[in-house]
Amino acid sequence: DTGVSQDPRHKITKRGQNVTFRCDPISEHNRLYWYRQTLGQGPEFLTYFQNEAQLEKSRLLSDRFSAERPKGSFSTLEIQRTEQGDSAMYLCASSLLGATNIQYFGAGTRLSVL
């Protein structure tokens, strides 16, 4: 068990391009969360999955954002037609629904939109 992995660690893109991030959770964890953190702020919830089902999406997740967890394992977060306001750190966390439900975080993907 190597913890939660996120790829890439850094992404620089031009405005209008599409980007996709990947998150590999801890292997037995059935819940997966995405958060976004802008400079100087705490992370904000975007969406979460239980197994392959996406159960909640924040209002922060505009139509340009889509997340999937096709086989209940890894997850992808895609941003279409990126805007400068999308520049942020995107954090993924996973947990095992149970007694403590502790979320373990990955190192994040830092997106810069030029």
Using CB under 8 A, list all residues that contact another protein: 31, 33, 35, 40-45, 48, 55-56, 91, 93, 95, 97, 100-108, 110
| CB of residue 9 to another protein, shortest distance in Å | 10
Q: Choose between 50 and 80: whose C-beta lies nearer to another protein.
A: 50
| CB of residue 13 to another protein, shortest distance in Å | 18
Q: Choose between 56 and 83: whose C-beta lies nearer to another protein.
A: 56
Phi-psi region of 81 (alpha: psi -120 to 50; beta: other; left: phi over 0): left
DSSP state letter for 19: E
Dig out the tokens for 20 from the structure.
């996709």
Residue 25 CA to residue 6 CA, distance in Å, equals: 9
Q: Choose between 79 and 93: whose C-beta lies nearer to another protein.
A: 93
Residue 99 CA to residue 19 CA, distance in Å, equals: 36
| CB of residue 107 to another protein, shortest distance in Å | 4
DSSP 27-63: TT--EEEEEEE-TTS--EEEEEEETTEEEEE-TTS-T
Q: Choose between 55 and 114: whose C-beta lies nearer to another protein.
A: 55
| CB of residue 105 to another protein, shortest distance in Å | 4
